[in-house]
Structure 1
Amino acid sequence: MPVRLRGASRDAAALSTTCAYVGPYSRYANPFTAGARSPLGPPMDAAEAVDLFAVTLRGPVGRHYAARFAQTLRGLDLMCTCPLDAPCHADVLLRLANAPDGEGTQPRTTDLLEGPR
């Protein structure tokens, strides 16, 4: 089962066939960062930034990215610069990419009616 690793893009490049770098400056980077102001005001902590990333991938536009990310990252270990004991968006991507039969990447009727979870 794929896992999250800690390292830089050059570390992932050394493991290129089994690992994808998803950290800062990658196409999979979390656009929401700990310490930045949240859409509601105060600075976010790491867990809030990860939650906002997950919610965005469930939105109308995000679902298309989520499906593409899942297809590309399926079966790969994911590397980010976050400490392994801290919340990280790579965990969201791991769940998404390794869900059985693309589960979680296709919009459900309730998502369309209720909006993002």
Structure 2
Amino acid sequence: MFASVPSSTQATEPAVLLVLLPMAAGATKPAFMASLARLQQQLGAAIRVLKIEEASHPTVVHSFQTTELPAFVLVRHGVELWRQQGLPEGETIAPLLLRQLRLADKEG
């Protein structure tokens, strides 16, 4: 008999952390972008960090109906798993995101 191949790729596809950036992100942009690059390194292949700037994609940013930018939205397969508006405090966001992903895997 042949080994069965999972029909769902849900476990192998990374989640996406959408980082919704305001139009006026230019003043803090270099330091903030460097922190996002460090965050991507911490998350590895489990979560892909995707930056979406309001200036370039206003419809996408506004579709999330956030009251404060930047905003962070963790999504997998079109399902929102977690959201935070405003800047995260300290370096605690990577473990938090990975924990949210594990919780979603247990529920799903």
Q: Same fold (TM over 0.5)?
A: no
Higher helix share: 1
Could you tell me the TM-score, scaled by structure 2's length?
0.29
Could you tell me the TM-score, scaled by structure 1's length?
0.28
Looking at both structures, which has the greater relative contact order when contacts are Cα pairs under 8 Å and sequence separation is at least 6?
A: 1
Higher strand share: 2
Larger Rg: 2
